[in-house]
A and B are shown apart, each in its own frame.
Chain A
Amino acid sequence: MLAASVGLSVSTSGCLRHVRSIVNRNEVEQLSLTITTLSADGDRESIQLAQDIGATLEAAGIDIEIDMQSREAFRRSILINHDFDIYVGRHPGDIRPDFLYETLHSKFADESGWQNPFGFTNLTFDTYLERQQRAGGEEREQAVNQTLEALALEQPFVPICVPHEFRLVRTDRFDGWKQGHLATRMGYLGLDPPTTEEAVLRAAHTDSRPSQNLNPLAVEFRNRGLVTGLLYDSLAVPRWSEGGTDAGDSDDEEPNGIDEDGDRTYSPWLGADWTWNENENEDGDERTENGSGIDTDLDPDADLEPTGTLTVTLREGCQFHDGHELTADDVAFTVDFLSDTTRDDNEFPAPSPRYRGHIDPIADVTKQGNELEFTCTASEPVAKRVLEIPILPAHIWGERTETASIPAITVADGTTEALITDNLPPIGSGPFQFENRTQREFVTLERFDEHFTRRESVALPEASAETLRIRIDPRSTSAIELVETDEADVTSLALESYVVDDVLEAESEREQISDSDPLEVIESSTGSFYHLGFNARTAPFSNPRFRRVIARLIDKEQLVSDVFYGHARPIAAPVTREWTPDSLAWTGTDPETPFLGTDGELDVEAARAAFEEAGFRYDDQGRLRVRY
């Protein structure tokens, strides 16, 4: 009996093992992916790009679905919850390539915000980024080139194009629109006439989010922070360098009223003056001897030696809109707060989703009266990014460190009050202060007369209008109409590409008729770019070979003409022209991942061959199959 059962179990176990080894093999399924993007009301170009790219992927045998979301929901899925396969959208970008550090370094893969939403982790890549972060002078340029070339090879995201930005302005009430960039606070300061009592500057804004939330840290609600930039001051204002612009007339880009003081990258703002002291022990020789960079780079866990100190002298007698004095304490608080909004080492840290890269190289802050000393672990140009952060009043934000709570609902760790507050009314120290708002209708800002730019002794562009009324108008066409009918002075966000040709045509017609026409089209350069992001946390998007083939299915040149009507610059490197290495310069086609096809028409056979070469398989119905 026993022997029989043993015998039986032996024989069945052998059989079972055979069955198990067959059954336990997961099915290789058709690749089915969701492209997350914005609705046309949110970003017209994004959904068009997603549709075009989706059609190409379908031709290559991939089952696709497009998930359209609103502006906030999109940012929440991508930047906070990392809940996507691939997405198409606009990256705020920057005029200098230093943002790549937080965008791609693996130590940020778990954070929310524009820091590494892709979950891209690659130790070799990290060393390139660290080298770029710490290198100065010529070596910095090399390091940036190396990073960009590695990026083109790995394709953690596919940079698509940099759109040209056009805005329509009226010059009969205010003029001098070209003095500052209209996507930044400087575009709305220093307008002519220099001071107009009771005059209202009227902006038509095609995004309703500023009327709902004015929290400078809320990544879901901010693009490049124009409105919060008017409400909050930074220590300095980045200058748009010449030659790196995408617009034709780059000569007009330089902000006026700022004298050359040796720093070509930043002009003074809340910080009146600053000096950089390079540390002696971290000299350039040591690095170059090593060949490919700093030796500590090879050990990802090594603590970075400080490279120098940045000493900033704060302008005296500045105050916040509520009358509190703005001191060095507030600046030190802000730096500390951005790195952890709980301000408590014991709690689950909650770094700010914005300005994370700006404060990352700051190892320590010491203050003495009006002077702040930042100990930095990066080279001078990178360390100076800290000058761009908005200075928050410590007496308000210091109380927003608690984890937000809703009765009976579990709130994710690291969701502090600071990150989710709508921050209304916002109390900053900027040239404008908040007056009122109606959701989805308007936001009204009043000039802050105590602002330092209003002082006789300060020669910086100041607010000329007493009131800035931002009227929310959802579409470019109706925003244009508001400017044309003298109900607005400026379209504060760039016009959608599909209306640009009409606007330019109308302008050239007007020029022929009369010279005194008050309407003017302003083209400005930008560092912002459209891209396709992969969620590299999951297969097959974690596979660089897969990502490279996808990149080759995207005809950037064709997309620029179809979606942007030619008003964009196709790119292989997500930086301004000035920083693009020669090896990645656009040559009519992508230098690294050329399109598999011609004129937007995919060569399906070539695409299949590329996928097969990358190790993927097709079934007999032409469907791409992958193991998840």
Chain B
Amino acid sequence: MLTQVLVQLVVVVTLMIAVSVALFVGRHRLRVTRTEWRTRLRDTAPALAVLTTVLLFNSIARQIVPDLSWMIGWNLTWAIYDIEGQFILWLQSFETPAVTAYFSFMYIYGYVFALTFPVVAYFALADTRPLRELLAAYTLNYTLGLVLYVFVIAFGPRNMMPELVEALLYDTYPQYQHLTRQVNRNTNVFPSLHASLATTVTLLAYRTRDRYPTWFYVTLGLGTSIALSTMYLGIHWAIDVLAGFGLAYVSVSLARVLVDRWSVSAWLASIRGRDADDDCEVDSSSDHT
């Protein structure tokens, strides 16, 4: 059942990306990309490697985080519920099958699309900085998010008020349970990574709006829908979503500062230069971390 859901996800998202590439990226950029992809890939390889490492580490860490949290974490569910109480209920009062279908689609497909398309779109730019910032911001989201997950135990609204907040996604489309439980634990709702990653994409889209003007408006819609979907489906509290916005802001700002601070390619080039020419000077302080 999991494979079936996964295949469906891959097919749908690939289609969405294909259409978006045609709409936003354009033939010209693709043509240039075909000639430049090697250098661009080499430029972004370090950022990509860091992200991959963090994601791999994340998938292992997620096995132990719940145990660790129950030992040292704070259980904030009641505090969150006490503060915002009825907001989720109000949001769910707009429930209709069509709305549920829309938000379920956004939560699963919209989210994966929102995360993957910018990678393709920024790769198609001659300037690799947006892509590297994007990858760095993703890395920061996952790292900081994981730290928060260790220290905060919080169950989502569907766990707190099962009869009032319907777990719309899992009851309407039980098959998705198989997918999301691969990624999420029910005590890891603060902050909402759905909200933070979608917001990260939106913030970066704003900064690249001169190159992809329409994409920025699309991400506004996507980001809002994804953030709303997590609450509408009873998975996250409003506070988790706000924390997600905060995390996105921090991640994007940090990524901006950190990217280009250390250049692996310059360092490699300098090594190569030294090999070739022995009296080449190496400024070790700014090369290697």
Q: Identify the A interface with B (CB < 8 A).
A: 39-41, 44, 47-48, 51, 65-70, 72-73, 439-440, 473-475, 477-478, 480-482, 485, 487, 498, 562-563
Contact = CB atoms under 8 A, between A and B. Distances in A.
Interface string B70-87: 100001011001100000
Given A475-B177, A487-B1, A39 B63 contact: no
Nearest to B171: A477
A475 B162 contact: no
Interface residues of B, number: 26
Contact of A477 (B70, B160, B170): B170
A481 B70 contact: no
Contact of B177 (A70, A474, A563): A474
B75 A40 contact: no
B163 A439 contact: no
Nearest to B181: A474
Contacts of B14: none
B78 A65 contact: yes
Given A474-B181, A478-B174, A40 B162 contact: yes
A503 B287 CA distance: 65
B155 A39 contact: yes
Contacts of A475: 167, 170, 174, 177
Contacts of A478: 170, 174-175, 177-178
Interface string B183-195: 0001100000000
B158 interface: yes
A487 B160 CA distance: 30
Given A69-B75, A439-B63, A44 B162 contact: yes
A477 B174 contact: yes
Contacts of A474: 177, 181
Nearest to A502: B171
A47 to B, nearest CB: 6
Nearest to A487: B1
Contacts of B159: 39-41, 47, 68
7 contacts: A39-B186, A41-B186, A48-B163, A67-B75, A68-B160, A70-B70, A475-B167
Contact of A47 (B70, B160, B187): B160
Contact of A73 (B70, B78, B170, B186): B70
A418 B96 CA distance: 53
Contacts of B70: 70, 72-73
Interface in B164-208: 167, 170-171, 174-175, 177-178, 181, 186-187
B66 interface: yes
Contacts of A72: 70
B15 interface: no
A474 B2 CA distance: 14
Contacts of B158: 40
A70 B63 CA distance: 15
B161 interface: yes
Contacts of B1: 481-482, 485, 487
Given A475-B170, A480-B174, 10 more contacts: A40-B158, A41-B159, A41-B186, A47-B160, A48-B162, A68-B77, A69-B75, A439-B63, A475-B177, A481-B1
